């Protein structure tokens, strides 16, 4: 289209969909289940960028090698140490959750990567990453990142009630799923509350943290909210089904996109995969965790999920099982059809 800006390195980004995650402490299993959900359903090749504490690196390498070759050929993985390029590394490391601030430094560290999808460790893909990756092509000429709102309802949203710093839009942003055009981030001068002329991403991070550190609760997510408050034209907002959290159903269903299309990306924050407060979220996590890679998706993933959901109908999230099942059912049908067609096609040649 006339006037539409293309990605500077589009051909290379088409070969590989880049997925970044930061794993510290006890997040090894959760991260592996997230990567497993990405590989199970995606079509194009994936490049994993795993930022992990040194003690976790050998375990990540070992576990990923244990996956069957039919899946390991679908991705390549790079494991990096935790590093912060500006300011006090210890301060950054302790900000909110251990190492979480690492995501702020991705544009600086991954200098050869054009675009990527960053996710928290507690995310599960219920459809191909290809589908969210397409959103990069929908960015207009000023947009360089995409996130979903922190909440749909201002009167029960956290930022709208408690924040003591600027935040984006009526309810703030949740940074657990974040698409980033790193090339654009690296070349942009951002408006800010510190100097009138604008600062690059790397120049801005530490002064911004110093200015607001006594007012932020959610660490790096708050800093991202402050950045996009001053630079709203840089953000593409995607709907809640791409970052679906307990808040979208635990007070009653408030994510219309998920009601219509089903959940695309599940974000089990608040530790819900590991306690009994939100059994629908825990059921999805356990079924993907326990799924034997080469088994039939319907038999060993979808049907166990349906039966687990029957035990959750006493909860507000459990009363809307179709929201959780709709997209994953559609995705599995596509995966199944593709395999059958490939199989029949291969046999047909003989």
- In a structure prediction context, what are the per-residue pLDDT tens digits for the chain, which is 350 residues long? 444 444 444 444 458 999 999 999 899 999 999 999 999 999 999 999 999 999 999 999 999 999 999 999 999 999 999 988 787 777 877 775 668 789 999 999 999 999 999 999 999 999 999 999 999 999 999 999 999 999 888 777 778 776 778 888 888 999 999 999 999 999 999 999 888 889 999 999 988 988 988 888 877 898 999 999 999 999 999 999 999 999 999 988 999 999 999 999 999 998 999 999 999 999 999 999 999 998 899 999 999 999 999 999 999 999 999 999 999 999 988 888 877 766 565 555 44
Q: Which residue has the tokens 């991070």?
A: 205
Token reading at 191 = 């408006």
Tell me the C-alpha distance between 143 and 141, whole Å: 6
Q: How far is CA 273 from CA 45, 259, 280, 286, in A?
A: 28, 22, 9, 8
CB distance 307 to 283 below 8 Å: no
Domain ranges of the chain: 17-238, 241-347
For the structural domain made of 17-238, what CATH number should be given?
3.90.550.10
pTM value is 0.91
Q: Give me the pLDDT at residue 12, please.
A: 44
Token reading at 327 = 């997209």
């Amino acid at each position: 289209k006339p006037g539409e800006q293309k990605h500077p390195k589009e051909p290379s980004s088409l070969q590989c969909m880049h997925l970044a995650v930061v794993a510290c402490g006890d997040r090894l299993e959760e991260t592996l289940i997230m990567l497993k959900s990405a590989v199970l359903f995606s079509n194009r090749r994936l490049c994993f960028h795993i930022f992990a504490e040194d003690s976790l690196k050998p375990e990540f390498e070992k576990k990923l090698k244990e996956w069957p070759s039919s899946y390991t050929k679908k991705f390549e993985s790079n494991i990096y140490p935790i590093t912060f390029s500006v300011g006090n590394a210890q301060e950054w490391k302790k900000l909110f959750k251990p190492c979480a601030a690492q995501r702020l430094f991705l544009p600086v560290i991954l200098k050869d990567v054009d675009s990527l999808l960053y996710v928290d460790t507690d995310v599960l893909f219920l459809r191909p990453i290809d589908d969210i990756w397409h959103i990069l092509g929908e960015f207009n000429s000023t947009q360089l990142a995409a996130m979903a709102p922190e909440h749909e309802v201002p009167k029960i949203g956290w930022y709208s009630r408690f924040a003591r710093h600027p935040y984006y839009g009526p309810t703030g942003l949740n940074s657990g799923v974040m698409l980033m055009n790193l090339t654009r981030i690296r070349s942009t001068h951002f408006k800010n509350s510190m100097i009138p002329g604008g600062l690059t991403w790397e120049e801005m991070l530490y002064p911004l943290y110093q200015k607001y550190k006594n007012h932020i609760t959610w660490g790096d997510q708050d800093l991202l909210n402050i950045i996009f408050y001053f630079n709203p034209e840089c953000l593409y907002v995607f709907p809640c089904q791409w970052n679906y959290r307990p808040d979208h159903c635990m007070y009653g269903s408030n994510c219309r996109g998920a009601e219509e299309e089903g959940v695309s990306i599940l974000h089990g924050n608040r530790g819900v995969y590991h306690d009994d407060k939100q059994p629908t979220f825990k059921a999805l996590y356990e079924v993907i965790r326990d799924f034997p890679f080469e088994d039939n998706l319907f038999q060993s993933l979808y049907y166990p999920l349906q039966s687990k959901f029957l035990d959750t109908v006493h909860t507000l999230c459990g009363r809307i099982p179709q929201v959780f099942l709709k997209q994953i059912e559609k995705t599995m049908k596509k995966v199944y059809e593709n395999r059958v067609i490939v199989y029949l096609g291969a046999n047909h040649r003989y």
